[in-house]
Amino acid sequence: MKKIVPTLLTSLLIMSCSQLQTLNNAENNTVVKAADLPKNIIMIVGDGMGPAYTTAYRYFHDDPTTPELETTVFDRHFVGMSSTHPAPESGYITDSAASATALSTGVKTYNAAIGLDTNRQPVETVLEYAKKTGKKTGVVATLQINHATPGSYLAHNVHRYNYNEIADSYIDDGIKADLYFGGGWKYFIREDRNLVNEFIASGFHYIDRYSDINTLPANKPVLGLFADTGLPWALDDSNKFRLSMMAKAATKQLENKNGYFMLIEGSQIDYGGHARDIAAAITEMDDLAKTLEYLETYVAENPDTLVVITADHSTGGLTIGKKTGRTDDDINSKYLWKPEFLRTMTMSPEAIAKKFTTDTLSLEDVSTLISFEITDTDMANLVQAKLEDSAIVSAFNALSDADKKGQRVPRAYQSTLNVLTKLIDMKTNTGWGSISASGTHTGIDVPVFAFGKGSEAFKGFQDNTDIAKKIFTLLGKK
């Protein structure tokens, strides 16, 4: 009799502990049964995509021929909000690196940190952990694949601007992904080192044109680099929906019996916010929305897949609806936002500015390019800006090499671009919270969206570090 009791007790104890551990491993008190763990996890970061962006997107996306305001894919999957603040030493407002490190590792860190904690020590990321458990892994971005967000899932470096070091670590610290899609020739095909060749030597299939993305060899790791650094704006790119195109090819390429973890980043929403360029930002949002719409069908066909979407922070203090100074009846009303002018644009303000500074364009030409009528005053402002730009460029070119050192080479169209984006802001009644040359990040909480297996874990309010912790749990980490 005596002998039986202890063993029974111990096995009872052992069983309950492990079940408890498995069932309740989520620090967020989400009970996860092993059978409920998703096979595939897709983490999506809309860089700079604060709540104003997903709201603005609903109005942009609205079909004006119907009385109702159609909801968007974001609305269908909204589950909660997330705080984004970095470690105390960096204050309340994060940069992309600290926030991506929080989302990938679950720890708060200083701004500019890549996969390091505040003691400058490397912290394991969800992507690295997924790889260790035998899953395939991938990163897809519309900027260089060694930029802050993908870098924070793949590398560990004291500063986000150590682009070459971060790129080198993708080989030197062991190849951690089976698929990379984005930009980056500048850092991966260098005079001092050709990392593309090293990836090929490690068995990777390399592509550098969109046209090759649908003919990838099965079961082979892939490196796809399609630009020097960032991909062109969605508005200017040969494929306006290049993020959804890459995501489609990536899900197919990564599918395998153990499942996969993939990071997808809509990287240039942030760039649109920094440039206070609502036209560019909203079309980046449209590309991200198309990616989510594709993943909705993907999850319907692959229900053991989890998709989580959030932002690392918001950018530019975007406000939808701003009283303008102009005396134009329908524009001057207090409560009005006019996305219709954005829906018809086919060229980014940056591309129009470049064209305006290199070619001789008439008022009619600009109106056609920008897809709404500009006034004589607008044209006069553009001509003035063109003169300013050429003066700035000649002044810079006149400097000695020594004086040029450390100075950023001026963009030959920056003043013209500023006039164009202001024009679009006036026309659409769009406002921005920052007045500095490049728009800033803001400290506002960001939305969280999720669908698929395990998505209920992301309901409610959470911190960005919680999102990582939940993903570790959903990867089966004890």
Question: Catalytic amino acids?
Answer: 96
Q: Closer CB to Zn ion, residue 74 or residue 199?
A: 74
Q: Are 157 and 151 in contact (CB under 8 A)?
A: yes
| 312 scored as a contact of Zn ion (CB under 5 A) | yes
| 445 scored as a contact of Zn ion (CB under 5 A) | no
Helices (H) and strands (E) in the chain, counts: 19, 14
Q: Are 308 and 468 in contact (CB under 8 A)?
A: no
Q: How far apart are alpha carbons 475 and 478 in whole angstroms?
A: 9
Q: Closer CB to Zn ion, residue 47 or residue 466?
A: 47
Q: Closer CB to Zn ion, residue 314 or residue 429?
A: 314
| 270 scored as a contact of Zn ion (CB under 5 A) | yes
The stretch near Zn ion (CB under 5 A) out of 90-98, 221-229, 236-244, 388-396 is 90-98
Strands ordered across the beta sheet of 40-46: 205-207, 222-225, 179-183, 136-144, 260-266, 40-46, 305-311, 446-452, 78-83, 460-463
The stretch near Zn ion (CB under 5 A) out of 45-53, 130-138, 175-183, 298-306 is 45-53
| 284 scored as a contact of Zn ion (CB under 5 A) | no
Closest chain position to Zn ion (CB): 96
**Nearest distance in Å: CB 313, Zn ion:** 5
**Nearest distance in Å: CB 47, Zn ion:** 4
**Nearest distance in Å: CB 149, Zn ion:** 7
For 229, 259, 394, 404, the CA distances from 388, given in Å and listed in that order, are 27, 55, 10, 19
Q: Are 30 and 292 in contact (CB under 8 A)?
A: no
| 265 scored as a contact of Zn ion (CB under 5 A) | no
Q: How far apart are alpha carbons 131 and 236 in whole angstroms?
A: 35
The stretch near Zn ion (CB under 5 A) out of 40-48, 115-123, 137-145, 286-294 is 40-48
**Closest of 287, 86, 267, 284 to residue 182, by C-alpha:** 267
**Nearest distance in Å: CB 161, Zn ion:** 14
| 96 scored as a contact of Zn ion (CB under 5 A) | yes
The stretch near Zn ion (CB under 5 A) out of 49-57, 307-315, 351-359, 408-416 is 307-315
Strand-pair category, 305-311 with 430-431: unpaired
Q: Closer CB to Zn ion, residue 270 or residue 287?
A: 270
**Nearest distance in Å: CB 102, Zn ion:** 12
Residues 6+ apart with CB under 8 A from 291: 44, 241, 243, 244, 247, 264, 266
**Closest of 257, 272, 275, 270 to residue 100, by C-alpha:** 270
DSSP of 450-470, one letter per residue? EEETTGGGG-EEEEHHHHHHH
The stretch near Zn ion (CB under 5 A) out of 43-51, 55-63, 236-244, 282-290 is 43-51
**Nearest distance in Å: CB 230, Zn ion:** 13
Q: Closer CB to Zn ion, residue 237 or residue 270?
A: 270
Residues 6+ apart with CB under 8 A from 120: 113, 158
Q: Closer CB to Zn ion, residue 270 or residue 378?
A: 270
**Closest of 430, 432, 423 to residue 372, by C-alpha:** 423
Q: Which two tokens stand for residue 347?
A: 């060229």
First vs last C-alpha separation in the chain: 35
**Nearest distance in Å: CB 444, Zn ion:** 13
**Nearest distance in Å: CB 341, Zn ion:** 27
| 47 scored as a contact of Zn ion (CB under 5 A) | yes
HEC string of 56-88?
HHHHHHCCCCCCCCCCCHHHHCEEEEEECCCCH
The stretch near Zn ion (CB under 5 A) out of 34-42, 62-70, 171-179, 263-271 is 263-271
Total of residues contacting Zn ion (CB under 5 A): 4
Half-sphere exposure of 351 (CA within 13 A, CB side): 14
Q: Closer CB to Zn ion, residue 150 or residue 339?
A: 150
Q: Which residue has 């519309």 as its token pair?
A: 142
Residues that bind Zn ion (CB under 5 A): 47, 96, 270, 312
